[in-house]
Amino acid sequence: MKINNLELVTRYQRPAFSQDLALELYYMRNGVMADPYSIDSVLIFPDTTESSDEYPYITNGDGSLLVDSDPGTDCTGKVFSSLIPFCAARFQVSTSKIVSDGYFDPADNYVKGVNTSGISQLGTGHFAVGLSAGGRYLSATPAGCDLDAAYTSTGLATSKVVAPGAYFDVWMVQDANSGAWQSIVQKFVVTTAGIITFPEKAVLTVKNTLKQKYIQVGEKINLAIETQISGDEANMSPTLLNLFQQAMLTTANVSISYTDEYGTLLNDGTKGTTNGFVEVTNLLSDDTMLYLWDSAAAVPGVYKIQAKYGFMDETRKSPKFSFVVRP
């Protein structure tokens, strides 16, 4: 995926601490993608099994232990103020944290070698931070859990995500003006190098299927092409083969076509078709390809969709799947 036109790996692609890693948040309200009123900050904490001077807390797989859940305190819904100084990295926009004020622009918040400490908005309800190798991040000890408060120290610090292991990204958000704060805790795992090795060239079978069969004219729907990867277990252990069930596709595009009543194949952007192959809307961690298709311009009939994607060192195409558009 990209932030400010710069490529990063996602949390599901077995990231190494030497890689540029995108940590994303998708925010929905009542089933619809929406923006929260405000995002205070994003904090990164290692998952710990014992307390230390460097990280004086124990999470043992439960990141919610970083959050103050006592309804009787001023910090309810935020990370404990006593733990904020021990985060491994911290992200925050430089001016207003109110999303509608427009300070979450990726061009300002993720610039390699200049500023990687911001929070970027990539779309409605879609936000990301870039955890980059050698990146510089906000460093400060807050006067309390309110990170708008004056800092007792300022400046930038190098990320402390420098070792393999599990980490939490904690997003402190406010859904509405004057509403309660909540901390959304997500998890990611950093590996040594994201490397998979084989005793010989892996021969893998990739099977794709289209989830939808019928669509009504006027619907706006995510067409989902699912991916299943299998191999010869005689030359590959089940444990190794299992690694191929997640985030193996590197690129993904789809083409939607329609043959009209005169036998003319349309694939030029008319009648709901795409203009050749276009990039998918989203590529999920299980390699499901999503394309958000607006069928407003479509006509009743049979359409076909085909995927083209990068897999290892190959470029592959799926079969052409048919689906019916109903009036």
- CATH of range 204-326; options 3.20.20.70, 2.30.30.790, 3.20.20.60, 2.60.40.1930: 2.60.40.1930
Write down the pLDDT at residue 154. Answer: 44
Q: Determine if the pTM surpasses 0.95.
A: no
Q: Which two tokens stand for residue 152?
A: 């007792």
67 vs 264: CA distance, rounded Å: 60
Q: Which two tokens stand for residue 44?
A: 């990164």
Q: What angle do CA 171, 67, 50 make, to 5 degrees?
A: 110
Write down the pLDDT at residue 87. Answer: 87
Q: What is the pLDDT along the chain (327 residues), one digit of tens a residue?
A: 889 998 888 888 778 777 888 999 999 999 889 999 999 999 999 999 999 988 899 999 999 999 999 888 878 999 998 888 888 888 888 888 999 999 999 999 888 877 788 899 999 999 999 987 666 666 556 656 766 644 444 445 556 777 788 999 999 999 999 889 999 999 998 877 556 666 666 678 899 999 999 999 999 999 999 999 887 655 566 666 666 666 678 889 999 999 988 888 999 999 999 999 999 988 887 899 999 999 999 999 999 999 999 988 889 999 999 999 999
- What is the rounded (10 degree) CA torsion for 219, 222, 228, 229? 140
Write down the pLDDT at residue 54. Answer: 86
Write down the pLDDT at residue 243. Answer: 61
DSSP strand pairing (38-46 vs 89-91): antiparallel
* Domains of the chain, residue spans: 2-190, 204-326
Write down the pLDDT at residue 112. Answer: 80
